[in-house]
Amino acid sequence: MSQLQPQPWPSLLWRWLAGAGLLTGMVGIFFLSEQSHLPQTFTFPGIDKLQHATAFGILGILAQLAVGVRGKSGYLLVAILIVTCYAIFDELHQSWIPGRDSDFFDVLADFSGATLGAIAVIIFRRLRLKRHALQR
């Protein structure tokens, strides 16, 4: 049976902080979804989808950092799956709120944002590791 490798404290601390941020973001989105009407300071076609992609992109970043950044694609898929499942839950939740509705394209925008956010973390890590290796 393999033994678990001890995590360096800074890495483990950042993962816990990212997990706390992820949960905080999910709670925030839940409370925003409870509102019958959200005020818009400015509008243009597609702003709703852009807002969804941005919010869930941030969740994707936090989920990837919480799950861990390693070379295996399974970690990326887990992070995206966590955020996408929450997006589906959020849309189902909105369907019960008067004045709100559930939209498949919102879930698609959420999935796209989560995927881009999680991939951005992987790319940033690879660039950082490459730069670190070149400095040696």
Write the pLDDT tens digit of every residue in 34-93.
888 777 777 888 888 999 999 999 999 999 999 987 767 789 999 999 999 999 999 999
CB atoms within 10 A of CB 31: 8
Domain extent listing, the chain: 47-136
Q: At 76, which amino acid appears?
A: L
Integer Cα distance of 98 and 68 in angstroms: 38
Integer Cα distance of 66 and 122 in angstroms: 13
Q: How much is the pLDDT for 4?
A: 55
Query: CB-hemisphere CA count at 13 Å for 105?
Result: 6
Proportion of the chain above pLDDT 90, given as a percent: 58
Mean pLDDT across the chain: 88
User: What does pTM read for this prediction?
Assistant: 0.85
> Could you tell me the two tokens for 19?
């997990």
